[in-house]
Amino acid sequence: MGHAAEAGSDTAKGLKETPTDELSWVARGIVRMEKDPKAALGDFDEALRLNDRCRQALQSKASVLSEKLGRILDAIAVLDQVVELNPEFIPGRGGRGVLHARRGDRDRALADAAECLKRDQSAATLYQVAGIYALTSKQHPEDRVEARRLLAVALKNGFGWDYLDVDQDFDPIRADAEFRTLVAAARALGPDKQPSK
């Protein structure tokens, strides 16, 4: 509502309180991820002490491990739990696929990608899987074709515009003429003209 000072004050007060339930631990961890990822990790672990099956805590823990602390193998182990407990939860499986791809494990990455697409064809899933193929294209240039195809459909359906310019998972194909042509054509329509999903 435009009350930044009040929001900041409320956040600061909230962070001084000790959470009493798993989702409150998760919420505090999410707030602390940017400035204090190790403290955030501790918050997620506290949530998991209360409920070792808490999907929000597991997913957030994997995120801070991989994106903030660079502990990709540990993050994959956490996402293994997420997928085992919640096989229908596509962001967990897709996130694991991305991490396998970042490590250069194409077989596992594409297995997760295929399972994601089998279970869900939403624009968000197409975008995430496009990133997997973009990453695996570093060793297998033929994967660029699928990365571009999936990205085109995701953008057409309104997902990815907020991330595309900064998403490092697409760096392996960003300089390709075909990628630049795809993005230019999509921008010619403009994200505001794309249907939202």
Amino acid at 59: Q
Output the six-digit token pair for 30.
């999410």
Please work out, in degrees rounded to the nearest 5, the angle formed at the alpha carbon of residue 58 by the alpha carbons of 53 and 63: 175
Instruction: Please give the pLDDT value at position 117.
Output: 98
Residue 1: both structure tokens together:
């509502």
With CA atoms as reference, report the closest residue to 180 among 196, 164, 163, 197: 164
157: pLDDT confidence band, cut at 50, 70 and 90? Answer: very high
For residue range 34-50, list pLDDT tens digits in order: 999 999 999 999 999 99
6-34 confidence digits (pLDDT tens):
665 556 666 677 899 999 999 999 999 99
> Tokens 């996130």 map to which residue?
95
The pLDDT of residue 14: 63
Q: What is the pLDDT of residues 75-106, one digit of tens each?
A: 999 999 999 999 999 999 999 999 999 999 99
User: What is the model's pTM?
Assistant: 0.87
Helices (H), 51-176: 55-63, 72-85, 90-102, 106-119, 123-136, 143-156, 171-174
Topology given in CATH for the domain delimited by 13-86: 1.25.40
Longest dimension (CA), the chain: 53
- Token output for 147: 């990365």
What is the pLDDT confidence band of residue 197, given thresholds at 50, 70 and 90? very low
Mean pLDDT of 182-188: 88
What confidence category does residue 60 fall into, taking pLDDT thresholds of 50, 70 and 90? very high
Residue 12 confidence (pLDDT):
60
Residue 120: which of 142, 153, 162 has the closest Cα? 153
Angle 110-130-183 from CA coordinates, rounded to 5°: 160
The model's confidence at residue 186, banded by pLDDT at 50, 70 and 90, is confident
Domain ranges of the chain: 13-86, 89-197
Mean pLDDT within 146-158: 96
